[in-house]
Chain A
Amino acid sequence: MQFLQFSMLAWAAASIIPFLLSRYRRLPKQRLDWSATRFLHASAQRSEKRFNLQQWLVLLLRAAALLLVGLAVAEPIRATSDATSERQRGQKFLCVIIDRSASTGALTTLESDVTLLQTAKEVLDTELRKADADDLLAVYLADQTNNLVYWGDAIDAMNKTDSMSDWRSNGMKIATESIVPAVQSAISEASRELSTISICDVIIVSDFSKAEWSSPTLKVLVDQIASMPKTTCRLISSRQSVEAESVENVSIASVRLDGFNYWKDRTNLLTEIRNSGQTMLIDRIIQLQVDGQVRDTRTLSLKPGETKQVNWSLERSRAFDQSVEVSFLGEDQLEIDNHRYLVIPRMLDDEVSVVADFEDDSIPVTTALRSLGLKPQDSQMNELALLKRPRLIHVIDPETVSLVGDSLYSLAVNGANLVIWLGNRTVPDVWQSSYDLSTHKSVFPGRSLKRQKWDGDELAEVVIASEVSEFVSQTSDSIAIPMSRYWGVEDVTGDWLSILSLSDGTGFAFQRRIGNGSLTWVTTPPTLSTSDEDNAWNYIANWPTFVPLVDSINMAAINQPQRNYECGQTINWNNSFDINESVDSGVSMQSAAPRLLVLKDEFAVQFDRPGIYENVTQQGSSSGSKMQKIGVNADSDDFQLEYLGNESIVQSQPPVGPGQVLDQSVQSNRLSDASGLFKYLLIVAIVLLCLEMIASTWLTFESPRSRLNRLSGRFPQ
């Protein structure tokens, strides 16, 4: 810091002003002739002392404020930037670091044949022409060796008569892509030379990849150089644009889960990575994340246009869904191109849910499930239980389906198995008179509903079917009610498979596939016939074979033929949701259900099920430039999705443009840091000035009450 500047001297002189003010303007301005001052003598001494103390305090505040303002305005640290003014006074040491990493082998533009390294050397030649003949020159090549390739007179380098001409060649080496070691070497060399050299100029010529530009180490080193006495640091970019190494030129061509299914504990994931850019990718990292945890990383190099395959062996580590994400990390590992896939593993025993209108414990099915050692989720009209994506859902009262139909359907599409228990309703008179078969036709358009036995039970099932149609109508497929002999309705679609039959061969449990899941209908055994549906199920509990029946149904529902989950598949979900919409999950499951879906268009949305209501973190993935966040209000169980739009992941852009001198920006950065201090000082000074004003006005230390009395003209009595 140099304080011998005119501005500093001026401010030092100005700092006398407060003392003068304090000396000559200490006493109050207003004088008043008084007749009885002798009565004041008792308190005057105290007042005089206090007044003097206040005046000294005001004086100190004034002086401090003035001093700080002076410091802030003078910015003495800026004096070091004037080191270049000393250039004319003596020999200069020119220290050049040339980045010769692999990235500098990239073409400046796709059309040109000039590499970044060549551009860097041209820039260096331009700088050398500005050097004086007696200047010293040191050239470092920042590659894997970080060689000091030249040390000598600058005039020889200018005339290209130096013996070590390797740095002038166009040879490109596979380097560590970090110029930090070379810069460190340059700093050491510059420190040594500064003892004899009057001024030092450090020039760093690099393409300044994102990693380098955002490297805190490099920033520290540059600041260190700039803070050295009589030393300047210049950063010169050789880069034309940042497109050459953009991760957008890298694509994960296809991913295949080989033989994967969620009944197996292990599967293989095959990934193809392709470099479609013009730059060679050196030691790039491909990482595999499962449920947000990095499971494995691979390092590979890709030539332009080359495609390589990466094969991983996946092992299921936990229940519920698994998020499989393959990420390609850019050169600075900030730029990411990732592809996300969903893997649904095998359900566990406690992944059973019951949807019913009753208390769980009163439901015979629930009791039976508990008897079987299963732990059904308490999902009585509770959408939250469904959000946990149970693998097996028993729907006891089909009327409930109309409320959570979308949710059930979406779960079924994604692999859940629905078991709908159809009651034995007998409300013939009422429904028979009010129901029209045309309604049935609207429920099942284009399908014939063959009527064999028209009675109340049949009609009741038709009504139930219309309620169930809330979710089944969303698919292009149509279903028909699984018909039993009891109801006398045939399965006209042929999609239904009888999985359980009575002893006489009559099926009472039918199943068909919906998406990746299944839908199972279980009818009331014909031997039971009551006038009340709910009571009918209560009677079922007394049926001695009911628990084995439930077990059979569970096994039949789960033990389906193995199916591979179609990873990467895009599911066009009609009931698409607005990801900017905040949905109260407690209102309607229908609106919340789509959040259980996985893939939509180009970006994937996945919820980590255990964390939805516990600790939801960023589980959404990004593709391209899209990002997604998930926020959860744990108190209200609301959750909100936020789409960030085309926000780049890359934090900072490296400088572009060949030959662009960046020392000014570096300098400004440094000064901006210093200016931060000065701004701070300035703020402190302003605060002090305010305090001074307050003190000079209010340093009577009056209480608010006294002040009020004084302002109102009243005085203490």
Chain B
Amino acid sequence: MAESQNYFSPELIASLGGLRLRAAHVADGWVAGGYSTKRYGNSVDFADHKSYSPGDDSRYIDWKLHARSDRYTVRRFQDESNRHFQFLIDSSASMSFRGSDAVWSKWQCACTIAVALATICLKGGDAVGGCRYQEILQDWFDASRSNQAMIQLIQSLESRPTSGVARLSKVLDETAIRLSRRTCLVVLSDIIDPVVDLELPMARLIEAGHQILFVRIVDREEEQPKSSEVRLFVDLETKAEVVFDPLTDCKSYMDAFKSHANEFKTIVERFGGPQKNCKVLSVITQDPIAPQLFRILDQVARGV
């Protein structure tokens, strides 16, 4: 559990506390008072009591409590619309990449973000589910509002090291089958898969009413290789060897990398539609995590 302690390091918690204050001011009230504010509605799930005030529906007056306390109290129920979050964390070998000046790998960064988000979501009363994936989904568990979800998530992330090849398209297809209700899907991955393979799965998920938030974990050195001499690049997933001449290949590589990111972003925006049910955010492993996490939370608060 040593690593799990890191996910709740004092620094991180302190930064998250700041986020809660920020969320309290969101006008929607959806996250007012902090993301932990429950939403009340007409479901059968009892939430809590509140003193009666004029205008409250008299049907919800708790007469039994009135008999005991001689006060009018109204029963409130949880809102049916509380969101379900499903975290998909890429655990392929490429996620273990760590740049020369990075303090952690992409995998560590993704795990931290996933746990932090899950913690916030649980505090906010949302249901959290999750899994890790490579070519297929692994350690899948459905969304739940209980703290057990957090335990399951952490156990899943710490169960095995990164390995294998990621097949996000296949994973998204499988996810679409498993999800039974409207869910906000949070995908934490470096997303180096061919974009064209992702179009159809993404379309299916959006069409099913799900929301997708792609958190693209990027090491800055991936964007700008810092190798000053000819090196042999070994692919972490496929183990393919490629001679890399920084002076001649660097620009071409960066162009391809950037083009891929832009292409993916374009498709995401296209499939997200006016409701913006699909978004992509990039997280740089070298950058401070708190601001980036805030951006993700902000995006989540806005409904992806």
Given contacts A42-B256, A47-B244, A48-B243, contact A37 B227 (CB under 8 A): no
Tell me if A502 is interfacial: C-beta within 8 Å of chain B: no
Q: Is A263 an interface residue (CB 8 A)?
A: no
Indicate whether A38 reaches chain B with its CB closer than 8 angstroms: yes
Contact B247 A28 (CB under 8 A): no
The verdict on A716 contacting chain B, using a C-beta distance below 8 Å, is yes
Residue-wise interface mask of A (22-39) relative to B, using a CB-CB cutoff of 8 A (1 in contact, 0 not): 000001101111111111
Tell me if A41 is interfacial: C-beta within 8 Å of chain B: yes
| Contact residues in A for B232 (Cβ distance below 8 Å) | 27-28, 30-32
Task: State whether B243 touches A716 (Cβ < 8 A).
Answer: no
**Within 8 Å of chain A (Cβ to Cβ): is B148?**
no
Whether B243 pairs with A44 at a CB distance below 8 angstroms is yes
> Of A702, A710, A716, which one neighbours B251 at CB under 8 angstroms?
A716
- A50 in the interface (beta carbon within 8 A): yes
- Chain B: CB-nearest residue to A38: B192
Among the stretches B48-56, B108-116, B234-242, the one at the interface with A is B234-242
Q: Which residues of B contact A28 (CB under 8 A)?
A: 229-232, 243
- Most B CB within 10 A of own CB, among A44, A46, A716: A44
Q: Are A43's CB and B253's CB within 8 A?
A: yes
Among B192, B230, B246, the residue within 8 A (CB) of A51 is: B230
Asked if B233 is at the interface of the complex by the 8 Å CB criterion, the answer is yes
**Residues on the A chain within 8 Å of B245, using CB:** 47, 50-51, 700
Q: Does B248 contact A (CB under 8 A)?
A: yes
**CB <8 Å contact, B230 and A710:** no
Residues in chain A near residue B234, CB distance under 8 A: 31-34, 37
Q: Flag if A32 contacts B231 (CB, 8 Å).
A: yes
B247 & A35 in contact (Cβ 8 Å cutoff): no
Min CB distance, B92 to chain A, in Å? 9
The answer to whether B250 touches A715, judged by C-beta atoms less than 8 angstroms apart, is yes
Q: Which of A33, A39, A42, A44 has the most CB of B within 10 A?
A: A39
Interface residue count on the B side (C-beta < 8 Å): 40
User: Are B250 and A37 neighbours in the complex by a CB distance under 8 Å?
Assistant: no
State whether A34 and B97 are in contact (beta carbons under 8 Å apart), knowing that A28-B232, A40-B242 are contacts in the complex: yes
| B250 lies within 8 A of A34 (CB) | no
Residues from chain A with Cβ under 8 Å of B250 in the complex: 715-716
Q: When chains A and B are docked, how far (Å) is the Cα of A37 from the Cα of B249?
A: 11
B252 located at the interface, meaning its Cβ lies under 8 Å from any Cβ of chain A in the complex: yes
Which residue in B106, B236, B246 is a CB contact (below 8 Å) of A33? Answer: B236
Q: What CA separation (Å) do A50 and B231 show in the bound complex?
A: 14
Contact yes or no, B97 A710, CB < 8 A: no
Chain A residues bordering chain B, tally (CB within 8 A)? 29
Q: Which residues of B contact A27 (CB under 8 A)?
A: 232, 241, 243
- Expressed in whole angstroms, the Cα–Cα distance for A30 and B226 within the complex equals 14
Q: Which residues of B contact A30 (CB under 8 A)?
A: 229, 231-232
Given contacts A46-B248, A710-B246, contact A37 B240 (CB under 8 A): yes
The answer to whether A706 has its CB under 8 Å from any CB of chain B is yes
- Minimal beta-carbon separation of A12 from chain B (angstroms): 32
List residues 138-178 of chain B with CB under 8 A from any CB of chain A: none
Question: Smallest distance from the beta carbon of B32 to chain A beta carbons, Å?
Answer: 40
B261-297 near A? 1/0 per residue, CB < 8 Å: 0000000000000000000000000000000000000
Partner of B106 from the list A35, A41, A43 (CB cut-off 8 Å) is A35
For residue A44, which residues in chain B have a CB less than 8 angstroms away from its CB? Answer: 242-244, 249
Q: Evaluate contact between B228 and A710: CB separation under 8 angstroms.
A: yes
**Residues in chain B near residue A47, CB distance under 8 A:** 243-245, 248-249
Known contacts: A27-B243, A47-B243, A48-B243. The answer to whether A37 contacts B233 by CB under 8 A is yes
Q: Distance (Å) between the CB of A716 and the closest chain B CB?
A: 5
In the complex, per-residue mask of A286-313: 1 if CB is within 8 Å of any chain B CB, else 0: 0000000000000000000000000000
Tell me the minimal C-beta distance from B167 to chain A in angstroms: 14
Quick one: which of A36, A40, A43, A48 has the most chain B CB within 10 A? A36
Cβ contact within 8 Å between B243 and A51: yes
Once the chains are docked, how many angstroms separate the CA of A32 from the CA of B231? Answer: 7
A578 CB, min distance to chain B CBs, angstroms? 66
Contact of B246 among A31, A38, A715 (CB under 8 A): A715
Q: Chain A residues with Cβ under 8 A from B227's Cβ? A: 32
Give A61-79 interface residues, CB cut-off 8 Å to B.
Answer: none
Contacts of B222 in A (CB 8 A): 35-36
A48 to chain B, nearest CB (A): 5
Which residues of the other chain, A, contact B219 by a CB distance below 8 angstroms? Answer: 35
Beta-carbon contact of A35 and B249 below 8 Å: no
| Among A28, A35, A43, A715: residue with most chain B CB under 10 A | A35
Interface residues of A in 565-610 (CB under 8 A from B): none
Residue of A with least CB distance to B240 = A37
Within 8 Å by CB of B230, from A42, A700, A706, lies A700
Flag if B249 contacts A40 (CB, 8 Å).
yes
Bound Cα distance A27, B251 (Å): 22
Known: A28-B231, A34-B235, A38-B235. A43 touches B248 (CB 8 A): yes
In the bound complex, how far is the Cα of B232 from the Cα of A30, in angstroms?
A: 6
Q: Would you call B22 an interface residue if the criterion is a C-beta within 8 Å of the partner chain's C-beta atoms?
A: no
The answer to the question of B94 belonging to the interface, with a C-beta cut-off of 8 Å to chain A, is yes
Assembled-state Cα–Cα distance A47/B240 (Å):
15
Given contacts A51-B230, A700-B230, contact A36 B257 (CB under 8 A): yes
Neighbouring B residues of A38 by C-beta, 8 Å: 192, 235
A44 to B234, CA, bound (A): 12
Complex CA gap A173/B225 in Å reads 92
Q: Is B190's beta carbon under 8 Å from chain A?
A: yes
Of the candidates A37, A702, A706, A716, the one whose C-beta lies within 8 Å of that of B235 is A37
How far is it, in angstroms, between the C-alpha of A27 and the C-alpha of B230 when the chains are bound? 9
Binary flags per residue of A213-254, CB closer than 8 Å to B gives 1, else 0: 000000000000000000000000000000000000000000
Complex contact A39–B260 (CB within 8 A): yes
| In the complex, residue of chain A having the shortest beta-carbon distance to the beta carbon of B92 | A35
**Distance A706 CA – B235 CA, assembled complex (angstroms):** 27
Known A-B contacts A38-B235, A715-B224; the reply to A710 vs B242 at CB < 8 A is: no
Contact across chains for A34 and B252 when beta carbons are under 8 A apart: no
List B contacts of A50 (CB < 8 A): 245, 248
Residue pair B248, A700 in contact (C-beta under 8 Å): yes
Most buried by B among A34, A48, A51, A710: A34
Nearest B residue to A49 via CB reads B243
Q: A34-B236, A35-B236, A39-B260 are in contact. Are A710 and B231 (CB under 8 A)?
A: no
Known: A35-B192, A700-B247. 20 other contacts (CB 8 A): A27-B243, A28-B229, A31-B241, A34-B244, A35-B222, A36-B192, A36-B222, A36-B257, A37-B235, A37-B242, A43-B248, A43-B249, A44-B243, A47-B243, A47-B249, A51-B243, A700-B230, A713-B226, A715-B224, A716-B251
Query: Which 6 A-B residue pairings sit nearest by Cβ, starting from the closest?
Result: A43-B252, A35-B97, A35-B94, A39-B256, A37-B235, A34-B233
15 contacts between A and B (CB under 8 A): A28-B231, A30-B229, A31-B233, A33-B97, A33-B236, A35-B236, A36-B257, A38-B235, A43-B248, A43-B252, A43-B253, A44-B244, A44-B249, A47-B243, A710-B247
Residues of B within 8 A of A (CB): 94-95, 97, 106, 190, 192, 219, 222, 224-238, 240-253, 256-257, 260
